[in-house]
Amino acid sequence: MDDMPRRIPDSLPALRAAARRAGFTLSCEERTGSLLALLAATRPGGRILELGTGVGAGTAWLLSGMDAASRLVTVELDEAVQKVAREQFRSDPRVAFVAADGGAWLEEYEGEAFDLVFADTWPGKFTHLDRALALVAPGGTYLIDDLLPQPGWPEGHGASVRRLLTELEERADFRTVRMAWASGHLMAVRTAPSGRW
């Protein structure tokens, strides 16, 4: 059995072409995307947060798994990159795009908790981790990828990843699972309320 998804979102080819034109190489891979779609589909009417929109590949997968009542907030620092996603999904009322630094956004956000948080940039993962985890609702899922070693990793990044995994696995308020699959994932599910909720 190979593990590549058989179905991809209709919008993905156009987003890939736009990413190539823009020289953007950080989009999630298809297996990660298929996991995002599946997790989104487990939450009818769910609230979903993506940190790091890129050109919208992860957004496309999330939207493909969401039902009509689900809502996605996706935050990106680089407005030019996010513009690709905004244009692609401008007629989809389920997604709200935020152009902001993810760390500042996490510090200021005072709204409802999320059923799924895909933390795909520095804030919410290597910085502001507590804040991102505090936004995960009871029974909700926190997902990170890019945990398996890559040739382009900056000096010291492997140690940062190991510290992050340890920190997540030592938390008493989450159950975690490591998946050495695709780019390497950790999935964590909130099992006890955070101080916030």
Ligand X SMILES: C[S@@+](CC[C@H](N)C(=O)[O-])C[C@H]1O[C@@H](n2cnc3c(N)ncnc32)[C@H](O)[C@@H]1O
Q: Is 14 or 138 the residue whose CB approaches ligand X more closely?
A: 14
Identify the CA nearest to 118 among candidates 94, 96, 136, 139.
Answer: 136
Binding-site member from 9, 46, 54, 184 for ligand X (CB under 6 A): 54
126 binds ligand X (CB under 6 A): no
Give the C-alpha separation, 33 to 57, whole Å: 8
75 binds ligand X (CB under 6 A): yes
Give the C-alpha separation, 34 to 173, whole Å: 27
Binding-site member from 8, 48, 49, 57 for ligand X (CB under 6 A): 57
3-class secondary-structure state, position 45: coil
In the complex, minimum distance from the CB of residue 188 to ligand X, in angstroms, rounded to a whole number: 18
65 binds ligand X (CB under 6 A): no
Binding-site member from 12, 18, 28, 187 for ligand X (CB under 6 A): 28
Both tokens of 192, joined, read 């006890």
In the complex, minimum distance from the CB of residue 140 to ligand X, in angstroms, rounded to a whole number: 18
76 binds ligand X (CB under 6 A): yes
Q: What angle do CA 122, 184, 66 make, to 5 degrees?
A: 75
Give the C-alpha separation, 20 to 116, whole Å: 28
143 binds ligand X (CB under 6 A): no
